[in-house]
Amino acid sequence: MRKIGTLFLLPFWCLLAVSCGSEPVESPEVVGALERYQYAEAHIGTTVRLVFYLDDEDQADALAAQCYAKLKVLELVLSDYKAESEVRKLCALPIGEAHPVSGALFDVLERAQEIAEKSGGAFDVTMGTQSQAWRAREELEPSAVSYKDLVLDKQQRSVTLLKPMVIDLGGIGKGYMADALMEVLRGAGVKCAAVVIGGETVLGDAPPEKKGWHIGIEDPEHKIVGKVVLENTALSTSGDSYQFFEADGQRRSHLIDPSSKQSMSNRLNVMTLAKRAIDADGWATALRVMPIKKAIKIANAEPDLEALFIPYQKDTIATDRFPTH
């Protein structure tokens, strides 16, 4: 466990945005035969951004369109905002019966359950009722539902709900989507690429003539105060700097503690690094909910996972191999 200063890393578009000095810099628009292409579209309640390097504008436009088309398909599987999504329809099916689901939905639920088990329930996708109440700024009611009431059968690729529940994949679905878009890009032979969906980011090879992708570090006032430089990794951030409201003198964030079924009120941001965005996404939420000492211990023991914890107005604490710059 390492203390590395008082910094805040937050989920917003800071790729290639920080130099060693104080002025933002950009990579050249053209490097050799390659050009940098950037795209942004609104999906799943956030901005989905693509950056990649290619030598043909028409091919780049077609590839971006393919990515956004893939995203729309996955949204209709994983979104709890859309009544017609597969996950919403699953929650309306009879309780206690096994229901076949798509490969995408099963894969996300399977990984969610694995992280839930490893984190002792700190990650739990069955708290959709509480999430919906938070969005409506209503009181969060106690509930006896937990991830243990969600049973998966890998051989049959089926899901059984043991109790009525609303499944909310907001803490892991965006990571899965980011991985899927990077697969589209890599399948087209694009190596230098970045996909950003809200606080979930997947990075490919470093941009031409660069050591890596520069990820900006923000302070509580949203000022850039540092950076990390990364490539071929995924990262996620979980915190309440943007998604919260105040009621009765209390800060109520969108992050809900599965043990109490109440909003987290402590101000803490967590950044995770992993090979896949689905892992970085799920673990960022799980580690954010736990006490820091416990979270550090679990993160250090988990293969291919690093984390940075940024408490409000206190020194940051990192896992053993978290990169610093």
What DSSP letter does each residue of 177-233 carry, written as one string? HHHHHHHHHHHTT--SEEEEETTEEEE-SPPTT-SSEEEEEE-TTS-EEEEEEE-SE
DSSP 3-state helix, strand, coil percentages of the chain (rounded to 5)?
30, 30, 45
Do residues 203 and 314 share a domain?
A: yes
182 lies in a domain?
A: no
Do residues 197 and 70 share a domain?
A: yes
Q: How large is the average pLDDT for residues 164-171?
A: 96
CA proximity to 135, closest of 265, 283, 11, 263: 263
Do residues 60 and 206 share a domain?
A: yes
**pLDDT beyond 80 at 89:** yes
173 lies in a domain?
A: no
Contact indicator for 182, 193 with CB cutoff of 8 Å = yes
> Between 248 and 87, where is the model more confident?
87
Residue 120 has a pLDDT of: 96
291 lies in a domain?
A: yes
**pLDDT beyond 70 at 55:** yes
> Between 4 and 127, where is the model more confident?
127
Tokens (6 digits) for 51? 């950056």
**What's the residue count for the chain?**
325
Phi/psi of residue 264, each to 5°?
A: -75, 135
Tokens 């810099």 locate to 25
Residue 254 has a pLDDT of: 67
- Domain stop point among 161, 179, 207: 161
Do residues 254 and 276 share a domain?
A: yes
- CA–chain centroid gap for 256, Å, is 15
240 lies in a domain?
A: yes
Q: pLDDT tens digits for 38-52? A: 999 999 989 999 999
Contact indicator for 130, 256 with CB cutoff of 8 Å = yes
174 lies in a domain?
A: no
Do residues 308 and 194 share a domain?
A: yes
181 lies in a domain?
A: no
143 three-class SS: coil
Radius of gyration (C-alpha) of the chain in whole angstroms: 20
Mean pLDDT of the chain: 85
Instruction: Give the CB-side neighbour count of residue 38, counting CA atoms within 13 A.
Output: 11
205 lies in a domain?
A: yes
CA angle 188, 192, 197 (to 5 degrees): 85
Do residues 293 and 203 share a domain?
A: yes
169 lies in a domain?
A: no
> Between 143 and 36, where is the model more confident?
36
Ranked by mean pLDDT, which of 32-36, 176-180, 227-231 comes out on top?
A: 176-180
> Between 219 and 323, where is the model more confident?
323
Do residues 268 and 133 share a domain?
A: no
d(CA 108, CA 105): 5
Look at the chain and report how many structural domains it folds into. Answer: 2
Domain of residue 96: give its range: 78-161
Contact indicator for 52, 186 with CB cutoff of 8 Å = no
- Domain stop point among 140, 161, 182: 161
Do residues 54 and 103 share a domain?
A: no
Do residues 229 and 243 share a domain?
A: yes
d(CA 186, CA 194): 11
Q: pLDDT tens digits for 133-148? A: 767 777 777 788 999 9
